[in-house]
Amino acid sequence: MKHRLPIFALLLLGLHSLQVSATDCSDTPIRVGFFEFPPFYSETETGAAEGILIDELDRVMAKLGCRWQGRFDPTGKLLERNINGETDLLMLIQHPLLLERARYSINPVGNLQLNSYWIGDKPAVSNIEELRGKKVVVIRGYGYGGLFRQLSDPANQIKLQMAKDHLQAFEMLSQQQGDYMLGYRRPAETALRQAPINGLGVQNVKDWDIYFVLSPKYTDQALIQRLDEVLADR
């Protein structure tokens, strides 16, 4: 004779399994990948992560009862590690290499603004097409949300000058090594506090939302839904 559990017992078992799934990350830390991008996230001298998005990550993880550990990589390696499962979570704009592989949150965790900068009475630039035939300072390793392909297209006759970071990019702009510079607002503001520039013009070019990005290899794919619930409750 088969023994059947009462329906309420089955419901209790189902509820218990959901609770275990929801708290798995309290036992095994979520591995979060970053690249050096102050003030959103940066690595301190002690190897810890700090920044605007780190504060938001702490808030969300505390709500979920999850622990996390971070690692810093160059941008190319950052994407590779997420795809192959060496890291579990990123905080990035939508990237073509990840869109069809990883899972993005529906709700954004932050916002990224790309600006053009120039010195003097040059015309304001609000889109990439207006940079045709110009010398433009850009930051090495940045894809500019997919715009780098357009910037580097020989048909656009844009001469790119590479800088290692926003601080060096502004230095190159002030030395007239470029007609314009493309940089992100928050990191640019951080750089300009260190080295202000007189007569600097600025114009918004494009905005992107920043999302949580869950590795396709992460065992608990429902985590992205729980992250979204916390983000929606801000």
Residues 161 and 48 in one domain: no
Tell me the residue range of the domain where 123 lies: 112-208
Residues 215 and 104 in one domain: yes
User: What total number of domains does the chain contain?
Assistant: 2
Residue with tokens 């600097």: 200
pLDDT at 3 over 50: no
Has residue 224 been placed in a domain? yes
What pLDDT, on the 0 to 100 scale, is given for residue 121? 95
Residues 90 and 161 in one domain: no
What pLDDT, on the 0 to 100 scale, is given for residue 20? 34
Residues 118 and 63 in one domain: no
Q: What is the mean pLDDT of residues 19-31?
A: 67
What pLDDT, on the 0 to 100 scale, is given for residue 24? 64
How many percent of the chain have pLDDT more than 70? 90
Residues 65 and 141 in one domain: no
pLDDT tens digit sequence for 46-81: 999 999 999 999 999 999 999 999 999 988 899 999
pLDDT at 12 over 70: no
Residues 215 and 106 in one domain: yes
Residues 90 and 153 in one domain: no
Is 0.95 topped by the overall pTM? no
| CATH label of the domain that carries residue 30 | 3.40.190.10
Q: Tell me what the pLDDT averaged over the chain comes to.
A: 89
Residues 28 and 142 in one domain: no
pLDDT tens digit sequence for 188-206: 999 999 999 999 999 999 9
Residues 57 and 167 in one domain: no
Residues 153 and 116 in one domain: yes
pLDDT at 4 over 50: no
